[in-house]
Amino acid sequence: GDLPIPTYGVAIALGFLASTLLGARAGQRQGLGAERILDMAFWMLIGGLVGSRIVYVLTTLDQFEAQCRLGLIPGDPRPALRLAYDCARPLFFWEGGLVYYGGALGALAGCLLYTRRNGMNFLQTADALAPGLALGHFFGRLGCHLAGCCYGMPTPSAMGISFPPQSAAYLEMFESGTVTLHADFTPPLVPTQLLESSAELGIFFLLIWFTARRRRPGQVLA
């Protein structure tokens, strides 16, 4: 119907689901218990969302400050509720804007707290979850491509991809004056999201291969 479903959020959800199921399977196989891994995943999700959003807001603080001060449409008069809405946008993580390394650190903190409270070996648990982290990032970067964020530099090569209006790339390039108001697309850009997504898939298979060859806990995480 009229309810929009952001593909970015769908990709993030698929990544979390895939990594959680993979971690639960690895936990069961390594004697950690699938139920414990599934329980831990909730706290890692909370930590990951908080950490990734905080880092994103800190690295784009000037944009959020401008939206709060001027609104999404500069010069447009705003009632009090609209002002509050514009200033609360750092909380709207479902609109996109999650930094991977902030999420990884937040999820790692959630894992560390859970393992300490439940008497689990942190390094062994983290090793079981590490391949799933790369797999989740694979889906997340696909979401970045579909949202148009985390884009690369303009390129004249055939690999360049142009993004339409309402994408993050178009809106950011419009704000910087790189594209005009009536442009149909952005200039062709290096698809860094797809390149990194492919690399993450390679890292995932590498970690799966290395897991069977590790000599001590913590090596897969490292």
pLDDT one-digit tens code per residue, 84-140: 877 888 888 777 677 888 988 999 899 999 999 999 999 999 999 999 989 999 999
Q: Radius of gyration (Cα) for the chain, nearest Å?
A: 20
Q: How far apart are CA 158 and CA 108, in angstroms?
A: 39
Backbone angles phi, psi at 189, to 5 degrees: -120, 150
pLDDT tens sequence for the chain (222 residues) = 888 888 888 998 999 999 999 999 999 998 888 999 999 999 998 999 899 899 988 988 887 887 787 765 556 666 777 778 778 888 887 776 778 889 889 998 999 999 999 999 999 999 999 999 899 999 999 999 999 988 999 999 999 999 998 888 998 898 888 998 889 999 999 999 999 999 999 999 999 999 999 999 999 999
What lies within 8 Å, CB to CB, of 139 at 6+ separation is: 11, 12, 14, 15, 18
* Helices and strands, number each (H, E), in the chain: 8, 0
Please compute, for residue 115, the number of CA atoms within 13 A of its CA located in the half-sphere on the CB side: 21
78: DSSP letter: -
Look at the block and give the residue holding tokens 């790339």. Answer: 169
Joined tokens for residue 196: 């990194």
Q: 130 pairs with which residues across the strands?
A: none
Q: Which pTM value belongs to this model? A: 0.79
